Amino acid sequence: MLKFSEMQEKLQSALSPGRFNHTLGVLETAIQLGHIYNIDEEKVKVSALLHDCAKDIPNTLKLRLCKEFHIPMDEVLLEDIELSHSFLGAEIAKREYGVKDEEILNAIKYHTTGRADMSVLEKVIYLADYIEPNRTPFKGLEEVRRYVTNDLDKAMEIALRNTIEYLAKNDRTIHPLTKEALEFINSKKE
Ligand code: DGI
Ligand code: FE
Ligand code: FE
Ligand code: FE
């Protein structure tokens, strides 16, 4: 694995200034949440830094790389190539940044859709991405910020519900993993 400072330099040249700035916001937020929820700081930092490492790859190249790395392109991903950046990001973190830790790779892989039975690290990265301070405010953001420091699952539930509602309103297909993530959280409640 590259040193953190080397990763940061490599990433900065792969991302637009705005996307890099977003990443620094996610990094700062994830470190704070990581302390609250007692997770390994190194894992939090690497996951947060690299979560969007594939975001600025042009869509045609995303598609080609997904094929090359044997990332299964389901119907939703084919319709919305952009969505593949999380799955592709995990592969690039592994191949180009030398990340071997499966927990980190999964936090990157599921940061956009979520999935059923997420680890605490996965939830922290998903939510840090959602609430980081550089994001342009949107409906539901403040509610997630209110819950995130004391009820991680409640914050996930709200964020997932908001995302599904937003996608439905914009006639975009909801990925099965996104639905499963919300169903799993709801199934744990009475
Ligand atoms: O990469 P970021 O912008 O930082 O954030 P992200 O990785 O959470 O991506 C957000 C985008 O992903 C947003 O436009 C909504 C979209 N998205 C999230 N879940 C789904 C989805 N798009 C589709 N089609 N289906 C999903 O389930
Ligand atoms: Fe992303
Ligand atoms: Fe997100
Ligand atoms: Fe992001």
Please give the distance of CA 79 from its chain centroid, rounded to a whole number: 19
What percent of the chain has a predicted confidence (pLDDT) above 90? Answer: 97
Residue 122 to residue 44: CA distance in whole angstroms = 9
Distance 190 CA to ligand 2 centre (A): 32
Identify the pLDDT of residue 189: 82
Residue 169 has pLDDT above 70, yes or no: yes
Question: What confidence tier does 190 reach under pLDDT thresholds 50, 70, 90?
Answer: low
Residue 36 to residue 103: CA distance in whole angstroms = 18
Residue 20 has pLDDT above 80, yes or no: yes
pLDDT tens, position by position, 103-130: 999 999 999 999 999 999 999 999 999 9
Residue 149 to residue 41: CA distance in whole angstroms = 17
- Cβ atoms of residues 125 and 132 within 8 Å: no
Higher confidence at residue 93 or residue 189?
A: 93
List the beta strands (DSSP E) in 39-109: none
The amino acid sitting at 148 is V
Residue 176 to residue 190: CA distance in whole angstroms = 23
- Cβ atoms of residues 83 and 113 within 8 Å: yes
What ipTM did this prediction achieve? 0.95
pTM: predicted TM-score of the whole model, two decimal places: 0.97
Which of 11, 167, 171, 182 maximizes ligand 1 atoms within 8 Å of its Cβ, making it the mutation to test the pocket?
167
Closest ligand 1 atom, residue 86 Cα: 7
b/e map 85-122, b = 16+ CB within 10 Å: bbbbbbbbbbebbebebeebbbbbbbbbbbbeebebbb
Provide residues with CB under 6 Å of ligand 1: 22, 52, 55, 76, 80, 83, 86, 111-113, 129, 163, 167, 172-175, 178
Fold of 4-187: Hypothetical protein af1432 (1.10.3210)
Parse the chain into domains and list their residue ranges. Answer: 4-187
Distance 126 CA to ligand 3 centre (A): 5
Q: Please state the rounded mean pLDDT for residues 62-90.
A: 96
Distance 2 CA to ligand 1 centre (A): 28
Q: Please state the rounded mean pLDDT for residues 152-166.
A: 98
Nearest to 50 by CA among 25, 76, 80, 27: 27
